[in-house]
Amino acid sequence: MTVIALLLGYLIGSVPTAAFLAHRKGIDLRTEGSGNPGTKNALGTGGPILAAAVLVVEAAKGYGAVWVGSALGDDIGAVAAGIGAVAGNVYNVWYRFEGGKGLGISLGVLAGLWPVVLPVILVVIVLGALLTRSAGLAAIAAMAGLIVSAIVWPIQNWSTFGWASTGPQLLVLAVAMTAIMVWKHWRDSPLNPAWRSARKTSV
């Protein structure tokens, strides 16, 4: 059942809802702006209403995937489906395995599996963005914060208040989500020499 939950999570995560919402406004997120079918590009090309709609729907997909996984295989199935959903969003089969960056759907996954860690991650993202002026660096900092939290949580014996209930599950979730998302955020951050070079050229 764990494998089935993972695959179903992947299929749910890969549903191109962001592109559909943008298309209704006459916007093609794949060709306009940064070309990324996510919330940030929706904000730049379609404004705050479209961006909010994309974020809410992506988060709902993540939560829905976790719910389906829990129905199939309890907490292990929920974790597997959550990881699958993030993978489906980032490496989307309908886009030749080039999808979004995974942050929006990750919020929904965490809301189902580990809701009490969400405020920590959101604070890290906001502070990271304010301090570095880089969404990519802020996302990487949030992933690091998620892994640290996965180590600290079971040591302190804190409850997750979600479907993920053990230390190993939290660590697998945090490491898997980071492994899936980190490359795309590194690619679009000052840590990438090619990104820095492109910025200098465009100035």
Q: pLDDT 10s per residue in the chain (203 long)?
A: 899 999 999 999 999 998 889 888 889 888 888 788 888 888 888 899 999 999 999 999 999 999 999 999 889 999 999 999 999 999 999 888 888 899 999 999 999 999 999 999 999 999 999 998 888 999 999 999 999 999 999 999 999 999 998 889 999 999 999 999 999 999 888 888 876 776 665 54
Pairwise CA distance, residues 130 & 136, whole Å: 12
Exposure class string for 170-186: b at 16+ Cβ within 10 A, else e:
bbbbbebbbebbbebbb
Sign of the alpha-carbon torsion through 123, 198, 179, 92: positive
Tokens coding 78: 């929920």
Determine how many CB atoms are found less than 10 A away from the CB of residue 15.
Answer: 18
With CA atoms as reference, report the closest residue to 149 among 179, 124, 112: 124
Residues 6+ apart with CB under 8 A from 122: none
Tell me how far apart the alpha carbons of residues 92 and 69 are, in angstroms, rounded to a whole number. Answer: 19
List CB contacts of 185: < 8 A, sequence separation 6 or more: 101, 135, 136, 137, 139, 140, 143
Q: Where are the beta strands (DSSP E) in the chain?
A: none
Give percent helix, percent strand, percent coil of the chain, each to the nearest 5. 75, 0, 25
pTM of the entire structure?
0.93
Euclidean distance between CA atoms 113 and 108, whole angstroms: 9
